[in-house]
Structures are given as C-alpha cells and as structure tokens.
Amino acid sequence: MKVLLPPSETKRPGGDGAPIDLDALDLPSLRDHRRQAIEALIDLSRDEDAARRVLKLSDRQVEDIAHNSALLSAPTMPAVDRYTGVLFDALDAASLSTQARRWLGAHVWIHSAPFGPVGALDGIPVYRLAAGTALPGVAPLRRHWADATSSAIAQVRPSFVLDLRSEAYVALGPVPASLATVYVRVVTEQGRALNHFNKKSKGLLVRALAEDRPRVGSLRAFLAWAESRSLTVRVTDSPGIVELVVAG
C-alpha cells in the first residue's frame, strides 16, 4: 500500500539533516526532473523582482527567495516533519512511535512541486513553489511532472494506492490506471464537501493508519480496516472515488 499526500504551503524552518541528496530520495527515476526544477528555482531566485512576481510573494514572504536559492545547500528534515498546516498538524508525526514513523517512511509519499513525490522520511529543505506556478526554465509543471511521475509510480507497482492529494497535485502525477487506487473525498453525511475538515480528516486518517500499520492491499481491505476504526468510508458511483464521511 502507498498513500499519496499533498504538501503544505507552510513549512517548519531549519533542520539538522545534511543537504538534500537527490540520489537518496524515493522514486529515484525522478532524479533528472527534480534537478531541473531545483535549478530553475535557484536561477529564478537570482532576480528578486522576478521571483516575487512569479511566486506571488508578499513582503512577509520575501525570505522564501533566499530559501529557494539555497535548495542544494540548506539543511533538511524529514518531509513529514517539514510541512505544517492543518493536515500535518493533525497527523502530528513527531508524536508517533518509532514503529509508526517507520510505517510512514515505507508507505507514504508527499507530493511536492519541486521534488515530485518524496518519502515521508526523505530529507528536504525549506522551499517555495506551488503546483500552479509557471516556473521559468522548465515546461509548465503539469507537463514537467505528470508522465514522469506516473511512470515512477508504475515502476514501484504498489498493490493499492490511497490518493489523498488535492486535484492540483493529482494533475502533477496521476496514479496509473493499471494500479488499484482510490481517490478520497471528505464529505458530511449529506454529501457536502468540506475544506478545513477535509485536511484535518486526512491527517487523522493517515495517523490512524500509521498507528495500526494494517496490511492493506485492496479497497476491500481498506474498507475493512476503516470499519474496525469506526470510520465511515462510502464507495461512490464514480469509479475510483470513495468518500470519508465526517461530522461538519
């Protein structure tokens, strides 16, 4: 089983890990695409005005230009600890047991714009780049990443993929149709889509998976595990889509 998570715009600063090692990241076939995106961000950071315009930075965010300029030399921390925000605060990976964190490292990919999907425990630096940014020096990010990422996922051949990404990040790397996968929507009992509770519920879902470390190789197995956790997951009429029902 693999779980795909979106990144977060907000990130924890600092880190005590060595600079990013592109050869050590999960999905190693993406190395060249990662290098191209990173070098384009570093090049962009040399022109502050252009960087502010392209990245849509406010005055309070201008320090992100310096972060991007240091992508290959800055300290790192595990991706699951780097990201903050509603989803990652609910997941609260730092408080999990060693065994649960190992499960995250083996089963969770976090899909970033400059690095593509990385393992939850892969070391990454602070950066600023959103999925919809038109980054000078590379093709539009959807074209830059989509085929390469789908191919990289296909090479791993996970038995089952639980896709918790936002639509913007799904576009950067669709799960191949040849794989068993479901996309999770968070809704109320009445079927109303949620925003804040969407992210929180996904974080809590992944935390529960890490705590239990179930063997999930199919949708049926995932549904059985969810029921054991008193989670309501509904299969929809739309192929490949399930609904996680929460109070809202």
Confidence of residue 248 (pLDDT cuts 50, 70, 90): low
Residue 76 half-sphere exposure toward CB, CA atoms < 13 A: 19
The per-residue pLDDT for range 142-173, each reduced to its tens digit, is 999 999 999 999 999 999 999 999 999 999 99
Whether the model clears a pTM of 0.85, i.e. scores above it, the answer is: yes
Distance, CA of 218 to CA of 48 (rounded, Å): 48
The per-residue pLDDT for range 13-44, each reduced to its tens digit, is 999 999 999 999 999 999 999 999 999 999 99
pLDDT at 74: 98
The per-residue pLDDT for range 200-231, each reduced to its tens digit, is 999 999 999 999 999 999 999 999 999 999 99
Helix (H, G, I), strand (E, B) or coil at 165: coil
Helix (H, G, I), strand (E, B) or coil at 193: strand
